[in-house]
Structure 1
Amino acid sequence: MEFDVQWLLTGVPVAFGLGWLASRLDLRQVKHEQQNSPKAYYKGLNLLLNEQQDKAIDAFIEAVQHDPDTTDLHFALGNLFRRRGEFERAVRVHQHLLDRADLSSTDHDRAQYALAQDFLKAGLFDRAEQAYRALEGTPFEVEARLALLGLYERSRDWLAAQETAVALERMGTGSFATRISHYWCELAAEADAKGHTAEAEAALQRACAAAPHLARPWLVMGQRWVARQQPEAALAAWQELRTRASTHFPLIALDYAEQAVRLGQAQAALEVIRSAYDAAPALDLLRAQARLTGQPFAELPELMQHLQRYPTLSAAQAVLSGLLAHPPVPADVGAGVARALEVAARPVQRYRCACCGFEAQRYFWQCPGCLSWDSFPPTRLDEQ
């Protein structure tokens, strides 16, 4: 068969032209998609900055539809869903990322961490714990362990919290000695509630060893000795408290006085109480002094001196209640005025969290409001 050179000369330019036309069409399509995707992305970003989250979500969904392979847009969309409280949609977005076979290890870890945050915000603590544990050995391990620590505190799983805090310390994250000591104190309380005395004592010993400067273990130890009818051991523990954390001594000053009177050591205890008052004046220390001297608190000479130096409503209430209890003030008038003073003073006779402002009549080691540790100063509002 004879080869026709004319077909070759004609076909090559035609094929070249068709290939060039096809490439131009592909380039136009890619260019069009690239133009649409950034526009939708920047539109969503602008809406987000203007606090228009609903419209921002729509814009990001449009951007994802134009470029379904991008990961950053998926992360932005999932985070927006979480911020709006649409946790189920956020979980679907991040789970979709995790199911992708072409996802890099870095983005996989990032998606796993985002998924754990979704579960935590949704209150699915069991699934959040599993998701955070899957991040061990990844660049997000420290963040995951910190989140687990907060999760265990919230669920009052003190043993797991203690183990997590120890692991964080070993990773060089910082010192968690105070928290670990508190966790052992909580474990001691749980053991006491179950009647496991030996476990409670061992937990308190570990609490003291973890943070010897912390007031709580020594305070609790003294209270346990009182409950076991061993006042000498209680006084020794509280004396240790005064040595290591003197600011918290007023919290147990009256109990200290009661046990000293019981042992016939009122005079020695009085010297301790007066020394503590000279270092940091407080009404609780004066109440303990009144108990040791056998005088009514309202008639204590040091109380009037305290009022002159520190004119607080609580001190005024104590002094006036003593004056109103004697003639010529009628009994019904004195009782009414004393009641009014009590109502007026009650708002300032509270402890207040330094972190969130939560107020309470009793002292807390962990704030019920913000869950911060040691955020309550050991003095009431009007004595601060």
Structure 2
Amino acid sequence: MEFNLTWILLGFPVAFVLGWLASRWDLRQVRADNRQAPKAYFKGLNFLLNEQQDKAIDAFIEAVQNDPDTSELHFALGNLFRRRGEYNRAVRVHEHLLSRADLSRSDRDRAQHAIAQDFLKAGLLDRAEDALHRLEGTAYEAEARLALLAIYERSRDWSQAASIARKMQAANQGDFSARLAHYLCEDANAQVARGQLDPALQQLQQAVQTAPQAPRPRLEMAQLQHRQGQSAAALKTLQELAAQSPAALPLAASLLVEVADATGEITAVQALLTKHYAQTPSLDLLQAQVTLDKKSGNPDAPGRARLVKHLELEKSLVAAAQWLEGETLTEEQYHGAVQKALDHAAKPLTRYRCAACGFEARTHFWHCPGCQSWDSYPARRVEEL
């Protein structure tokens, strides 16, 4: 058979045309895919801005399926799942990101931080703790330590909380000395509950050294000293409290009365109370003064007349009710009903109120049970605020 050069000459143009058509077809497909991903992305963004989260999630899922290598879409999708409370789906999205070998170091740290937030929101504190520890040495280290501190406070793991607080203080993330003193006091309270009074006293002494200006360590140390029969030492501790933290002295007023009675130092304690009451009038200091006047046996002591003088300074319903309680009225048969009504009206005014969240309680808290803030309760009653 004779070789025909004509077919070769005709084949070159045909092959060129077929190659050109194939390249155009592939280019169209690529362009279509590239247009489809941004379109789904912008559609999801539009739904998100209109607060249509369900439709936004569907659009982002479509975009992720079209372009699975886009990390930003994964982050957006995971954040949406978390906001909706679908924590399992958020975790799966962020775990998928962490499993990618081509993920940059910054995106890997970001995904680790996101998965820690997922666990925190879901209440899975043990898994959140592990995820947060993995953020040591990253750009999210400071935020992770704050979250760990909140976890340990919530679980009342005071030793771990103290360890994190020391790291944060060493890294110049703030002054945590007062917080460390609180942790030592909490540990001391736990030891007191177990009957370990001497170790508890040592913890409180360490707390005083850690935060000399903090009122709680001295107040609780004086309570423990008085409980152990060391009332003279307790009085000295309370005098130090008055010098270092005078604003907190109303919290120690009732304890000062007990210590004065136990040591016989009624005159010295009364002088201390009078001095601080003159500087800052307080219902608790006033009541302590009235009580000590009765205990002194001095007929010339002001006694309940202090209540009248306080009313000249402050329009206090609480003080008025206390004064009326000891008075004899012209129509005494109505005294009980009037007194009961006044006490009922004054009772809410004797509470303490958190300055951070407004949570009110009959007792003073160092750690607000409402918003978990430390030192947010002033040492003054609601009526005095």
TM-score bin (small chain):
over 0.9
Q: Which residue of 2 aligns with 1:64?
A: 64
Preserved contact between residue 365 and residue 376 of structure 1 (Cα < 8 Å): yes
**Percent same amino acid among aligned pairs?**
53
| Separation (CA, whole Å) in 2 of partners of 1:135 and 1:244 | 39
Listed one character per residue, the Cα deviations across residues 13-36 of structure 1 (whole Å, up to 9, x for unaligned) are: 444433333332222222222222
Q: Which residue of 2 aligns with 1:367?
A: 368
| Separation (CA, whole Å) in 2 of partners of 1:27 and 1:307 | 89
Which amino acid in the other structure matches residue 119 of structure 1? F
| Separation (CA, whole Å) in 2 of partners of 1:72 and 1:298 | 74
Show the 5 A alignment for 1:42-53.
42-53=42-53
Listed one character per residue, the Cα deviations across residues 199-254 of structure 1 (whole Å, up to 9, x for unaligned) are: 31232122112211100000000000011011111111111111111111011112
Preserved contact between residue 298 and residue 322 of structure 1 (Cα < 8 Å): no
Distance 1:4 1:224, change over 3 A: farther
| Separation (CA, whole Å) in 2 of partners of 1:242 and 1:19 | 93
Distance 1:364 1:310, change over 3 A: same
TM-aligned CA deviation for residue 319 of structure 1: 2.2
Q: Which residue of 2 aligns with 1:185?
A: 185
Deviates further, 361-370 or 236-245: 236-245
Tell me the matched-pair count: 381
**Residue of 311, 319, 339 corresponding to 1:307:** 311
Listed one character per residue, the Cα deviations across residues 280-312 of structure 1 (whole Å, up to 9, x for unaligned) are: 100111111112211799962121111121102
- TM-score normalised to structure 1 length: 0.94
Q: Which residue of 2 aligns with 1:292?
A: 292
Preserved contact between residue 298 and residue 321 of structure 1 (Cα < 8 Å): no
Q: Which residue of 1 aligns with 2:321?
A: 317
| Separation (CA, whole Å) in 2 of partners of 1:52 and 1:239 | 62
TM-aligned CA deviation for residue 347 of structure 1: 1.8
| Separation (CA, whole Å) in 1 of partners of 2:303 and 2:332 | 19
Distance 1:16 1:237, change over 3 A: farther
| Separation (CA, whole Å) in 2 of partners of 1:19 and 1:334 | 109
Q: Which residue of 2 aligns with 1:131?
A: 131
| Separation (CA, whole Å) in 2 of partners of 1:95 and 1:231 | 60
Which amino acid in the other structure matches residue 105 of structure 1? R
Preserved contact between residue 218 and residue 238 of structure 2 (Cα < 8 Å): yes
Distance 1:11 1:197, change over 3 A: farther
Distance 1:294 1:101, change over 3 A: same
Q: Which residue of 2 aligns with 1:337?
A: 338
TM-aligned CA deviation for residue 7 of structure 1: 5.8
| Separation (CA, whole Å) in 2 of partners of 1:320 and 1:20 | 105
Which amino acid in the other structure matches residue 222 of structure 2? G
| Separation (CA, whole Å) in 1 of partners of 2:244 and 2:193 | 27
| Separation (CA, whole Å) in 2 of partners of 1:17 and 1:233 | 103
Show the 5 A alignment for 1:164-243.
164-243=164-243
Q: Which residue of 1 aligns with 2:28?
A: 28
CA RMSD of aligned residues (A): 2.1
Which amino acid in the other structure matches residue 329 of structure 1? E
Preserved contact between residue 329 and residue 335 of structure 2 (Cα < 8 Å): no
TM-aligned CA deviation for residue 45 of structure 1: 1.7
| Secondary structure of residue in 1 paired with 2:367 | coil
Are positions 1:268 and 2:268 aligned together?
yes
Preserved contact between residue 71 and residue 97 of structure 1 (Cα < 8 Å): yes
| Secondary structure of residue in 2 paired with 1:208 | helix
Preserved contact between residue 116 and residue 128 of structure 1 (Cα < 8 Å): yes
TM-aligned CA deviation for residue 87 of structure 1: 0.9
Preserved contact between residue 349 and residue 381 of structure 1 (Cα < 8 Å): yes
| Separation (CA, whole Å) in 1 of partners of 2:4 and 2:169 | 84
Distance 1:31 1:265, change over 3 A: same
Structure 2 unpaired stretches of 5+? none
| Separation (CA, whole Å) in 2 of partners of 1:62 and 1:254 | 68
- TM-score normalised to structure 2 length: 0.93
Preserved contact between residue 298 and residue 319 of structure 1 (Cα < 8 Å): no
| Separation (CA, whole Å) in 1 of partners of 2:63 and 2:302 | 74
Q: Which residue of 2 aligns with 1:247?
A: 247
